[in-house]
Amino acid sequence: MRGGSASKENEPIGTLSPFLSVVARHTIPIMTPTRVVLADDHVLVRSGVRALLLAAGMDVIAEAKDGRELLACVRELHPDIALVDLSMPLLDGFEAARRIPIVSPETRVIVLSMHHDPRYADRAGLLGVWAYITKDDAPDRLVDAIRRVATGERLLEPKQTAPETLSPREREVLQLIVEGKKNVEIADVMKRSVHTVRNHRARLMRKLGVRTAAELVAVADAQGLVCLAGPRGET
């Protein structure tokens, strides 16, 4: 039921019903609130950012708590902006950012991270991310970045493609190993066979020159291949 069209002449643009805002997109696109999907594994952070964006007149159409949920939201809703945290369970923000243009070419990715490490911003640029905002930036800066990216302005330079040591699948397996998942659980999350997971795992260990899973985690973290954000912030 998306009625209420009787009063549409009097309704301010900002509060159009979902049905009417679809119509408005094609006639007066500049007045349409920017549709944002918000991904962060911390509920309190999501609630806070959502409150800030709503106050700025933006439309937070969905929230996701991990990278896989985010991809599902984006595939279904095709938001203007995906606001993506980097350290997220099951699939991190990097891998999600890499896949978002594949499932929804019109969606532009903005990273919202607590990490200041320039390597992270570089890697985000390499993946085609439009802006990189840190969580200690002012709310105005975030709102401004969303507005500018929504109008097509890139705030993060796309970097030259550097040779990636690990394949996307290997990165996926690595993250799930780091999260303490067993091969059979990893296979379940990735919807692949245990055999395939074992192969990825063996290749990962060979590439990083380690013999045990424990060494794999220690080396991957030391090389910055995974985001192990702890309670004390950056690792």
Binding site for other proteins (CB under 8 A): 41-45, 47-52, 55, 112, 114, 133-139, 142, 177-182, 210, 212-219, 221, 226, 228-233, 235
- Listed residue (167, 178, 164, 181) closest to 218, CA to CA: 178
Strands 81-84 vs 35-39: parallel, antiparallel or unpaired = parallel
Torsion over CA: 97, 124, 171, 160 (sign): positive
With a CB cutoff of 8 Å and minimum separation 6, the contacts of 26 are none
Query: Nearer Cβ to other proteins, position 30 or 214?
Result: 214
Residues in the chain: 235
Q: Report CA torsion sign: 68, 72, 75, 80.
A: negative
Residue 66 beta carbon to other proteins: minimum distance, rounded to whole angstroms:
11
| Residue 43: partners with Cβ closer than 8 Å, 6 or more residues away | 65
Closer of 50 and 154 to other proteins (Cβ)? 50
Residue 48 vs 101, nearer CB to other proteins: 48
CB of 50 to other proteins, least distance (A): 8
- Please, what is the minimum distance in Å from the beta carbon of residue 160 to other proteins? 30
Q: How far is the CB of 44 from other proteins (least distance, A)?
A: 5
Report the alpha-carbon distance of residue 95 to residue 71 in Å, rounded: 10
> Toward other proteins, which CB reaches closer, 138 or 162?
138
Beta carbon nearer to other proteins, 39 or 126: 39
Residue 9: CB minimum distance to other proteins, A: 32
